[in-house]
Amino acid sequence: MSPPRRRAAARRSPVSVVTGAAGFLGSHLTDLLLARGHRVIGLDNFITGRIENIAHLAGHRQFKFVEQDVTEFLFLEEPVDYIWHFASPASPVDYLEYPIQTLKVGSLGTHKALGLARHKGARFLLASTSEVYGDPQVHPQTEDYWGHVNPIGPRGCYDEAKRFAEALTMAYHREHGVATRIVRIFNTYGPRMRLQDGRVVPAFISQALRNKPLTVFGDGTQTRSFCYVADLVEGIYRLMLSAEPLPVNIGNPTELTMLQFAEEIIRLTGARSRVVYRPLPQDDPKQRRPDITRARTLLKWKPRVALADGLARTIEYFRNQP
């Protein structure tokens, strides 16, 4: 018969640390982990995260929140099984305002989170981004494409922070044997996005709800693909539980031009808006679409929420914001 302490340890809930837990993606991931029986320790310093995103978890017995900058030393007494590193500004508005903090969280923050994973013997997942591909010369983007990135341009602070974070993650995997996972996240949308965060979904929705013109940059022919947040976090959860250490794209391969997307937002909101055009920002990618063959094959994952359904939920969320 096993000793009582060992039996108790075997029964305990898995413990997950989520950095950036008060952010858009981090808060949805936290909800999924709690629903699947994890005890979650959330970390955030609220540079871009919002207390409103986790307010519904106040008093939850399986959730503990620590207000902390992840670039500082991370000390946790309890055992840790999984570390989900989501801390980072993620929209152009944010990382252009906080370029140094963005670089620090991608470098020092990733170093601290990986160090905690090594110390605890925990599995580590890095939330990387499709921005590591830059303005791609390969379409759609596969995980073996190395990218086309301007390291000194205005977006370089975010793109290169994530590229460095991937390199550091693989170094810990190879040098220290840390069980690491890397997800490259493509455009994601859903409730809890900040209305003024500068990304195209909240920008178009906020303009449409006020019957203002929808601002399309360039000539509107540049493309994006949009994945609903519930689909995304399901794919990320499956990746963490997989045995795949190399990067995996998670996103929706259905591609739209920005003009098509603007017209869909106008249709779904019933707005009287029109489209206006502005110059394309420097280094803005002309095309963005994931090849998700690896996710389909290894994780048995594909997006399930139709764009119209996901946008309807997101629009309803924004309608109810003060």
What is the dihedral sign for C-alpha 303, 305, 235, 189?
Answer: positive
Kindly list the distances between the CA atom of residue 304 and the CA atoms of 174, 226, 232, in Å, as whole numbers in the listed order.
35, 12, 10
Is the alpha carbon torsion for 4, 6, 7, 9 positive or negative?
positive
CA distances from 98 to 19, 41, 123, 158, 186 (A): 18, 25, 29, 10, 21
- Which residues participate in catalysis according to the annotation? 158
Return d(Cα 217, Cα 139) in angstroms, integer. 21
CA pair distance 240, 251, nearest whole angstrom: 16
Residues 216/275, Cβ–Cβ less than 8 Å: yes
Report yes or no: 262 and 113 within 8 Å, Cβ to Cβ: no
Closest by CA position to 65, among listed 21, 104, 23, 97:
21
Give the tokens for residue 168. 């550091």
The CA dihedral of 13, 125, 243, 6, to the nearest 10 degrees, is -30
259 three-state secondary structure: helix
- C-alpha 166/C-alpha 124 separation (Å) is 12
CB atoms within 10 A of CB 314: 23
